[in-house]
Amino acid sequence: MSEIFNFLKKTEAERRKNRLVPEPALNVPLEESPLHEFEEAPLNPEARETVPAEIEICKGDRFDLTGASPQLRSVLHSLTAVGEQFRLLRSRLALMQKQSGIKTVLITSTAPGEGKTFTASCLAGVFAQESGKRVVLIDADLRKSMSGRNFGIDAAGSGLSEVLRGNIEFGGALLTSMNPEFCFLPAGPVPPNPSELLSSPRLEQLLRSAADYFDWVIVDSPPILSISDTTIIAPLCDTVLLVVRASSTPSKLVQESIDRIGRDHIGGVVLNRQKQVHSSRYYYEYYYRSSKRR
């Protein structure tokens, strides 16, 4: 990950020279290194399986992505450079899956506003574009859920918090996106005790059962340095992707985040909102200029 740190240190120096750095128009992940009052319901030992063996993946409420954010729709378009960046990330994760069997990928960031929810939403979408792949996105940010906004839907109903309290089954809380088809578990109503709820054995059971059914389980979690929630969830996932905002996130915060998660558990760093990518120019020239010559 030395390239990431070198880039961040360089941009920190540039920021000190010029504080007026224009904001890029889109969240764009550009580089990834390989690599209500609530009481928790008691867990019934005779019904410990939170997720049934057979999940009726397409039987829940459905939504389409016509109201999704323009940035997300751009990523899911087949002929965009930003979409290719996410497909590159997908390919690298698929290779990691072949090598080490990973299925559950947690997406986090050092601090709010770095694009981790956007990254998680896009990654679920591009995985679902692969034929035959079963994909679920779980919004585990029980304090400030944002995933539904990316999809252009109101996700204020049942969700993860209700599943963890035992009020609804996992399959009954799932929403299903169409074209591409993937499942989405919203965060649900905001509880007064997010950390305690996430510490429940139900979460581990849910993630294990989801991994048995789905090919990919994408978990959107809170920023790692802000609250303790992510340190509870991370050990339950196969790997972690850390989203870093280019020209903004101090390298020392990246290092602190990696130390908190554990270097061996970091699958890669996603550099987000980089203003220029050299490969984008080559992509444009190859696919667009060549077509104009015909």
- Which amino acid makes up residue 204? E
Q: Please, which residues have CB within 8 angstroms of residue 118's CB and are 6 or more apart in sequence? A: 27, 71, 72, 150, 272
pLDDT at 179: 85
Q: Domain for residue 70, yes or no?
A: yes
Q: Domain for residue 15, yes or no?
A: no
Per the structure, the complete domain to which residue 254 belongs is given by 2-7+28-35+50-284
Q: Domain for residue 223, yes or no?
A: yes
Q: Domain for residue 292, yes or no?
A: no
Sites in the chain below the pLDDT cut of 70: 1-60, 273-294
CATH number for 260? 3.40.50.300
Q: What is the pLDDT of residues 144-161, one digit of tens each?
A: 888 888 898 887 778 999
pLDDT at 39: 37
pLDDT at 32: 39
Cβ–Cβ under 8 Å, residues 241 and 105: yes
Q: Domain for residue 291, yes or no?
A: no
Q: Domain for residue 109, yes or no?
A: yes
pTM reported for the whole predicted model: 0.78
pLDDT at 14: 60
* Count of CB atoms situated within 10 Å of the CB of 39: 9
Q: Please, which residues have CB within 8 angstroms of residue 147's CB and are 6 or more apart in sequence? A: 117, 120, 121, 137, 139, 141, 155, 184, 186, 187, 220
Q: Domain for residue 14, yes or no?
A: no
Alpha helices in the chain (DSSP H): 2-17, 70-76, 81-100, 116-128, 147-151, 160-164, 170-173, 194-198, 201-213, 229-233, 251-261, 278-284, 290-293
Please give the tally of structural domains in the chain: 1
Q: Domain for residue 191, yes or no?
A: yes
pLDDT at 66: 87
- The per-residue pLDDT of the chain, averaged, comes to 80
pLDDT at 173: 92
* Count of CB atoms situated within 10 Å of the CB of 92: 16
